[in-house]
Amino acid sequence: MTMITVGKEDFVAQTSPCTIVDLERRRVRLDREKLLENGIFGLEHMDPRARTFILLRSQIMNGFHAEGGRILVVTSTQAGNGKTFVTANLACALSLIQPTVLIDLDLRRPTMATRFGLTVNAGVDDYLLGDCEWEDVGQKVAGLDLTLYPVREPRQDSSTLLSLDRLAGAMTAIRAMPYQPLCIIDTPPALVLDDVMLIARKGDGIVMVIEEGRTTSGELKEAMRLLGAPRIVGTVLNKSMTSGTRRYDYDYYEPA
């Protein structure tokens, strides 16, 4: 198990109405300044704040992915621990060296659209409802090996949607992609909803985001019990109290 220490960020998201359009017309150009404003600096390989995510990328590629892992689920114990911050930056850092897919499956509190500045015409939620096909949802990012699958609007019936066979169909489609991308999935907190358990069984491994000073050992043990400790391939320590405003420390942890 690997522990990486990162910095501190959190944001809120909104989405927009749905009309299905052609995939090529959804090839999006990201606004660099907007990304930085929203705490996404994983594409800035010279930025000191990206250093931790480059290290985390190496750990994922040399461990999880090298051993055949394709679909990585990211969660935390409670809301606000920084899992989406970690997920977005990790996916961006990965996309610089590896075809990458980033999926927002935090259906009740989706954040990807706002963080990346996307207009969402067809979302993951619409696909799960049967209102569009999986290929209608993906937004390819111009100039990067990165495809984003955002949610169009928050869904309170998230557990019902995630229990449908269409989620399995999406994962099958990801695994069948000819360029074999590494898929990162942002999920709800493990101790808030049962959604992550419905998602995790479709993936190959789980990364747990821990907030220093807030996540308790009891919460972590309960989350590991629910998800199955062997499925957790690593942990990320977020909002480190030992990290300065210009410095992002990291270390590694091997369980006894």
Q: SS3 sequence, 134-199?
A: HHHCCEEECCCCEEEECCCCCCCCHHHHHCCHHHHHHHHHHHHCCCCCEEEEECCCCCCCCHHHHH
Count of all residues that appear for the chain in the document: 256
Chain centroid, CA 102 distance in Å: 6
- pLDDT at 144 (0 to 100): 94
CB 90 within 8 Å of CB 60: yes
The contacts of residue 160 (CB under 8 Å, 6+ apart) are none
Q: Give ∠ CA 196-201-202 in degrees, rounded to 5.
A: 100
The contacts of residue 66 (CB under 8 Å, 6+ apart) are none
Lowest mean pLDDT among 84-93, 178-187, 207-216: 207-216
Quick one: DSSP state of residue 64? I
* Span 98-111, average pLDDT: 97
Rounded Cα–Cα distance for residues 123 and 139 (Å): 10
CB 91 within 8 Å of CB 172: no
H-run or E-run covering 112 = helix 112-116
* pLDDT tens sequence across 134-156: 999 999 999 999 999 999 999 99
* Span 160-166, average pLDDT: 95
Pairing of strands 232-238, 3-5: parallel
Using pLDDT thresholds of 50, 70 and 90, give the confidence band for residue 212: confident
* Span 109-132, average pLDDT: 96
Using pLDDT thresholds of 50, 70 and 90, give the confidence band for residue 239: confident
Average model confidence (pLDDT) across the chain: 85
Comparing 40 with 23, the larger pLDDT belongs to 40
Comparing 18 with 117, the larger pLDDT belongs to 117
Strand 71-76's sheet: what is its strand order?
A: 3-5, 232-238, 205-211, 71-76, 182-186, 100-104, 146-149, 139-140
Which among 110, 107, 113 is positioned nearest to 129, based on CA atoms?
107
CB 147 within 8 Å of CB 101: yes
Rounded Cα–Cα distance for residues 93 and 18 (Å): 29
* pLDDT tens sequence across 61-72: 999 999 999 999
- pLDDT at 238 (0 to 100): 84
